[in-house]
Amino acid sequence: MVGRWCTARRRAGSGDDRRPVPTTVRRVAVRHGSARGVRGEDVSARSSGARGDRAYGGPVRSAALTAVLATAAALLGGPGLLGGPGLLGGPALAAGAPAGYAFAEDARPIEGASGTADAAPLEPGATYRSSLPRNGVLYYRVALDASSDTHVSVTAVPGSAGEVTAVDGIRVSLRDADGNSCSTDSATFGAAHSPRPVTAWTVREMAPGATRCQDPGTYYVTVERTRPQDSPPRAWDLELAAVTEPPPAAADTPTTPGPWDSASPEPLAGAPQRRAAGEGFAQATSVGQGVWRDDIRPGQTLFYEVPVDWGRRVHATAELDGSGDASGYATSALHLALHNPVRGEVDDASKGYTGRRTTVGLAPLPPVDHANRYAADGQVGGMRFAGAYYLVVHLAAQVADDFGEGPFELTLRVRLSGTGRAGPPYAGESRPKGVFEVSAQDRVAAPEGGAAEGDDLAMKVVAAGGIGTGSLLLVGLGVWTAVARRRA
């Protein structure tokens, strides 16, 4: 979506050297483009705090579980469950320039066409890697059935070379064979003018009574830059992912979601536990409720995933520590976004940085509910299915101008609330399989707070499977399967 962005500027004039008060800038999604369309644009501003409470866990005995933890750690390719890199951590941030975007290891190369005649196919359930030139529109085709909702996300990675503008970014559309639009979405870099991965999401939705884009057949995904005349000349890398959601087994009657508490939740309090983030959707680090810490450098983007089941709510804040030099200002420096299981952006907010501790938080969001897709509010509509939700944090490159290259300490506070419940039975399998569910293994792979270590984590592994010591090896295999599926 093309957002309108509030830009805070340094005051100029005789005798006035005051810095602007950092403001949280938010892009709010509204529906457009289809019967239950994706998103449009709006903006609001507010400040955020950082208070709350957190309690988790208690001591248990686990001497007999050392073997399964070691086995699971080996399957994960490192110490993992035993407290090293693997499941509870990751490789330390290397010195120097921020790392780039981590594409899915199994991403298939694909070339966008200049028209529909030569458009290459996107297979639902697969991930692709392509590139977007400065000028022109790229076409890809996708075959849709007569019953499933189909979601296509496109992540553009501009790299660090070249200056971007606030309204620069990508526009993605899904069209039928006659060129009629099913939905359109845009994603832009915003007021920070900082190159970062941006994701747009388009969808063909089956809706009772709808007439557009309801027939099976060949459809086309188009990708282009929003402001090619102001865009850097180099091609941008693209990651494309197509996902299908089958219809409910029972007849789906459109009903608006029930009431929910829209008051801002209190951010979790407590000492953070270090947990290295991933650098892409496919490599996102799994976390549960808790307080997490990692290092971030100007220009870097961090990815975490949070399993959110039906009936559950997620809220998060991101805090950037002070730099020790409070003499500059970076506009919209700290950016936090939430993406749903099909990588569609649900909410985002950003805040300027003065060198002092800065906090930015998500807006209150409803519990995950299948009926949310019928809501008029785009943020509510984005919370339409269970699965892995992604928290994406970016620190603007311009922070380095006034405050140095860092790294800076980042604290992420994640709160999960609400009562989990069963979702609607689907009439078939999603592609990829399991993307709209939260399994016991998913919960094991997402530790909570500072309690997911040592004996507590060992018992969590066992409890998740509901098994005895004779099957502990299978639990380790289940954890490995969950992590492998998330990275696929």
Confidence (pLDDT) at 143: 97
Contact call for residues 222 and 50 (beta carbons, < 8 A): no
For residue 403, give the amino acid letter.
F
Q: Which residues of the chain have pLDDT under 70?
A: 1-99, 161, 450-488
Token couple for 125: 């359930």
pLDDT score at 332: 96
Written as six digits, the tokens of 460 are 């969590």
Furthest-apart CA pair in the chain: how many Å?
77
CB 466 within 8 A of CB 453: no
| Distance in angstroms (rounded) separating the CA atoms of residues 97 and 129 | 23
Q: What is the pLDDT of residue 98?
A: 52
Model pTM? 0.77
pLDDT at position 261: 86
In the structure encoding, which two tokens stand for residue 130, read together? 């392509």
d(CA 283, CA 294): 15
Q: What pLDDT, on the 0 to 100 scale, is given for residue 25?
A: 53
Could you tell me which residues come within 8 angstroms of residue 76 by beta carbon, excluding any fewer than 6 positions away? 86, 87, 479, 480, 483
Res 258: pLDDT: 82
Instruction: State CA 331 to chain mean position distance.
Output: 22
Query: Which amino acid, residue 369?
Result: D
What is the DSSP code string of 93-126? PPSSSPP-----TTPEE---BSSSTTPEEPPTT-
Q: How far apart are CA 284 and CA 427, in angstroms?
A: 29
Amino acid identity of residue 411, one-letter, is T
Residue 431 has a pLDDT of 96
Determine the pLDDT at residue 445: 86
